[in-house]
Structure 1
Amino acid sequence: MTREQFRPEDHPNDHFLLTTVVGSYPKPKWLHRARDLWNDEDSKFDDESFEEAKDDASRLITNEHERAGIDVVVDGEMRRNEMVEYFAHRIDGCECNGPVKVWGHNYFDKPSVVDDISYGEEWLVSEYEFTSDVSERPVKVPITGPYTLASWSFNEVYEDKEAAAYEFADLVNEEVEQLVESGARYIQIDEAALATTPDDHAIVGECLERIVDGIPEDVRIGLHVCYGDYSRIYPEILEFPVDEFDVELCNGDYEQLDVFKETEFTKDLALGVVDVHGKEVESVEEIKANIRKGLEVVPPEQLTVSPDCGLKLLPRESAFQKMDNLVAAAREIEAELDAGELDGVESPVPADD
C-alpha cells in the first residue's frame, strides 16, 4: 500500500485515516493585489517582486495546512491562476486569446491548441520543490489531467478530443516523471471534465495508462473527479491504474453513496467530508458522521479524508476551520476504531502479531 509512507512517526492511533486537501485554497488578499500590480504596465512591481510574493504566500499557506494537522499538504496552488490556463501557458502549441464566460460571472482564458503540442518549460517541479523545502510534512502535487486539458481547450489541430487528450497525456507523463525524480510520492490527477461527459471514461482510462507508464510503484497516484453522476463511471473506473479515487459527495448530502456499494470498492476512497460551497463550518461531530459514511464503503485502511474539492472560493478563516475540524474528526474516529467502538468495523491486528 502506498499510503503507509504518509503515516506520521508520532501518529497517536493504531488506525490511520490519511488526511489531505484537494488542492486550491483562498489566496491572501495581498497576493491578489500583487498580481494586479504585476499586470499594471505603469507599475514598478517587477517579476522578481511578484515571485517573492508567490513564495511568501506558498510558505504561509503550506504552514496553515500544517497548523491544521493535515497529513499530506499542498501550497494551496498559490502560483496558479486557473486549472487549465496555468498549464496551457507552459505547453508549446497552446495559446490563450482572451477570457471566455463559463458560468455566472466567471471567466477564464480558454486555451487554443494551434500547433502540435510539446513539452516546453516544466510545469510544477519548482512549485513542488519549494513546498517540500518549506514543509515538515509530505507534499501532494495536484495536476490537471489530459482529458480536462483537451476538453476545456479549443482544438484547431488534432482529429478530435480523444486524439488531443492522448497527446496531452504524454506530456503529463513527462511532467510526472520529472516530479518523481524530484522526490514527489503523491500525485493527484484532476479530471473535472469527466463528470460533465462521463461516457468518455474509457478515454480517461487510456490517458491514465499513458501517465503512469514507467512510474515507480511506491508513487501514490490519485484521481479527483468533481461532482456528477458517478453511476455512469462506476464501477468502470475501478479498472483505472490509480491507487485512490477522490469524489465529491458531501455537497450532495451523500445521495450517491450507494453507487459505490453496488460493486466492491477495490481502490482507496478519498471522501469529501466538508462542503466547499458554503462558508458555514461543519462541527467535528458532523464531520465524524460523514467519515462514518465512508466506512460504509471501504475499511479504514482504504479511507482518505479530505474536503469535497478545492477551498479557494471560501473565506480563508472558514477554509482553515474546516481543515482543523476535519483533522480533529479523523483523529477521534481513529481512536474510536482502536477502542472497537464503531459497529461493523474491525480493529487492526498489530504488526508484530
Structure 2
Amino acid sequence: MQPFPIRTTVVGSYPFPGWLEFATQHLQQFGAADIEEMIEDAVITAIHDQVSSGLDVITDGEQTRFDFNLSFYGYINGIQANETETRRFGPAAHDQRGKHNIIDTLTAPNGLGVVKEFQRLQKLAPQGPVLKASVPGPFTLSGRLLPNATYKDRYAITEALLPIISKELEALVAAGCTEITVDEPSMSCYAYKEDTKRFTDIFNRTVAPIVGKCRLSTHLCFGNFKGRPVGYRSIKPMIPDFLDFNVNEVHIEMANREFAEIELLQVFAEKMDVAVGIVDVKNYYIETPEDVAKRIKQCLQYIPAEKLAVAPDCGLSQTARWASRQKLANMVKGAKMVRENL
C-alpha cells in the first residue's frame, strides 16, 4: 500500500523545451560534451516544472528519449532502420513512427541507458519528491521491430527482449531506484484481441527479479501519438487476467475516456493500488483544481483513499509545456483539497 492517501505522480515523459526540440533536428552540429550539457539542462527544466507543481513523485521527464521505443533501439545490437516502412505525409498517425529490421541476434551489452538517466536524476533532483524511473516492457518495445526468419513473430521478438529489460530493471534497483514503472500500453491496446493470460505471463516473468525490491507499477494506457489514441479503449478485456500482474500499483487512463468503466477500477483496487489518469493529456482544456477534486471524489466511490494515486492519463511528451505545467499544478491542488478533507 502506498505511503499516504491520494499520492500525486506522473507516468514518465514530459515535453521537451522548445530549444531541445530544435537541437534534436541538428545534432550533427553538436559535440558529445555539448549534447550531455544540453540533456542535463533539459532534465533540470523538467525537474523544476514537476517540483514547482508540488508532485509527490517525479521523473527525469525522459528528456533523453527522442521517441518512446526508437530511442531504446539505439542501445540494441542487431537492428537496422527500415525507412521504406514509414509513411511520411498526411495526417499524423501511428504508422508514421519508424520501423526497424532485425539483422542479427538481439543483444544490449551495455544496457538500455535507463540507469544513467536515473543517476542523472539522482544528482539533479532536490530532496523531497520520490524519484521514479520508467522502462518500456518487452511487448511494447517489440512493436516497431519487423519479424524475420529467426524471430518469426512479435512474440518471439518479445521473448528476446524480455531478459534485456529484466536485467535493466535489476540494474536500476542496484542503483538505488525505489520506484519503477514498466510501461506496457501495447498490452492494454491489444487486450481485446490477444491472449491476456499470455500477456500476464510475459509481464510477470519480466519483473520477477525485482518484485518485492522496489515499489513496482505498470502503465496501461491506450496509446498517444501526437495527441491521438492508438488502441481499443476499454478496460473490460483486461479483466480478470491483468489483475494477476505482480505490481504494487496499476496506472489506467480515465480522463480522456470521460471516466467510462470507472466501476471496474474497484476490482483492481482489491488487488493493488490504482493510479487514475485524472487529467487529460490529449485535451487543451486545463482542468481546474475543483475539476480534479470532483473527479477524485468520484474515484473514491470505488477506490479507498489509501490505495488511490492520481496522475495524468499518460506521459506528457505530446502536450505543450505551458499546458503540462498548469495541468500538473492544478492536479496537485485538487488532490490536496480532497486529502485535507478526508
The two structures have a TM-score, normalised by structure 1, of 0.86
Q: Give the Å deviation of 1:216.
A: 5.2
Q: Give the Å deviation of 1:240.
A: 1.1
Q: Give the Å deviation of 1:212.
A: 2.1
Distance 1:216 1:240 in 2: 11
Residue by residue over 1:155-205, the C-alpha shift from the partner in whole angstroms, topping out at 9 and shown as x without a partner, is 223232222212211111000000110011111111121133113322321
Cα RMSD, aligned residues only:
1.9
- The 5-angstrom pairing of residues 43-62 of structure 1 reads 43=29, 45-62=30-47
Match in the other structure for 2:51: 66
Distance 1:261 1:248 in 2: 15
Match in the other structure for 1:100: 86
Mapped pair 1:303 → 2:290: no
Match in the other structure for 1:195: 188
Distance 2:236 2:266 in 1: 11
**Does the CA-based 8 Å contact 2:5-2:309 persist in structure 1?**
no
Match in the other structure for 1:314: 319
Given the superposition, is the C-alpha separation of residues 264 and 75 from structure 1 closer, same or farther in structure 2, using an over 3 Å criterion? closer
Match in the other structure for 1:207: 202
Match in the other structure for 1:139: 131
- Stretches of 4+ aligned residues off by more than 6 angstroms: none
Q: 2:118 aligns with which of 123, 128, 135?
A: 128
Percent sequence identity is 28
Residue by residue over 1:296-330, the C-alpha shift from the partner in whole angstroms, topping out at 9 and shown as x without a partner, is 22201111110000112222111001000111111
Q: Give the Å deviation of 1:141.
A: 0.9
- Equivalent position amino acid for 2:119 in 1: E
Q: Give the Å deviation of 1:23.
A: 1.5
Distance 2:104 2:5 in 1: 47
Please say which of residues 256-265 and 119-128 is displaced more in the overlay.
Answer: 256-265
**Does the CA-based 8 Å contact 1:94-1:115 persist in structure 2?**
yes
Given the superposition, is the C-alpha separation of residues 282 and 263 from structure 1 closer, same or farther in structure 2, using an over 3 Å criterion? closer
Distance 1:304 1:264 in 2: 11
Q: Give the Å deviation of 1:332.
A: 1.2
Given the superposition, is the C-alpha separation of residues 200 and 216 from structure 1 closer, same or farther in structure 2, using an over 3 Å criterion? closer
Residue by residue over 1:19-53, the C-alpha shift from the partner in whole angstroms, topping out at 9 and shown as x without a partner, is 111111111111112222214xxx3x222212211
Please say which of residues 267-276 and 84-93 is displaced more in the overlay.
Answer: 84-93
**Does the CA-based 8 Å contact 2:200-2:241 persist in structure 1?**
no
Given the superposition, is the C-alpha separation of residues 51 and 97 from structure 1 closer, same or farther in structure 2, using an over 3 Å criterion? farther
Distance 1:332 1:57 in 2: 31
Mapped pair 1:27 → 2:16: yes
Which blocks of at least 5 consecutive residues in structure 2 are unaligned? 223-232
> Aligned to 2:243, what secondary structure does the other structure show?
helix
> Aligned to 2:285, what secondary structure does the other structure show?
coil
Mapped pair 1:235 → 2:226: no
Given the superposition, is the C-alpha separation of residues 246 and 108 from structure 1 closer, same or farther in structure 2, using an over 3 Å criterion? same
Match in the other structure for 1:270: 275
Please say which of residues 286-295 and 252-261 is displaced more in the overlay.
Answer: 252-261
Distance 1:263 1:120 in 2: 37
Mapped pair 1:161 → 2:151: no
Q: 1:180 aligns with which of 173, 178, 186?
A: 173
Q: Give the Å deviation of 1:54.
A: 1.0
- Equivalent position amino acid for 2:146 in 1: F
> Aligned to 1:325, what secondary structure does the other structure show?
helix
Match in the other structure for 2:212: 217
**Does the CA-based 8 Å contact 2:215-2:248 persist in structure 1?**
yes
- The 5-angstrom pairing of residues 110-129 of structure 1 reads 110-123=99-112, 124-129=114-119
> Aligned to 2:286, what secondary structure does the other structure show?
coil
> Aligned to 1:139, what secondary structure does the other structure show?
strand
**Does the CA-based 8 Å contact 2:15-2:316 persist in structure 1?**
yes
Distance 2:138 2:253 in 1: 20
Please say which of residues 69-78 and 160-169 is displaced more in the overlay.
Answer: 160-169
Q: Give the Å deviation of 1:121.
A: 2.0
**Does the CA-based 8 Å contact 2:211-2:247 persist in structure 1?**
no
- Equivalent position amino acid for 1:169 in 2: L
Match in the other structure for 2:299: 294
- The 5-angstrom pairing of residues 310-349 of structure 1 reads 310-337=315-342
**Does the CA-based 8 Å contact 1:38-1:47 persist in structure 2?**
no
Given the superposition, is the C-alpha separation of residues 264 and 216 from structure 1 closer, same or farther in structure 2, using an over 3 Å criterion? closer
The two structures have a TM-score, normalised by structure 2, of 0.89
Residue by residue over 1:332-352, the C-alpha shift from the partner in whole angstroms, topping out at 9 and shown as x without a partner, is 111110xxxxxxxxxxxxxxx
Q: 1:244 aligns with which of 231, 243, 249?
A: 249
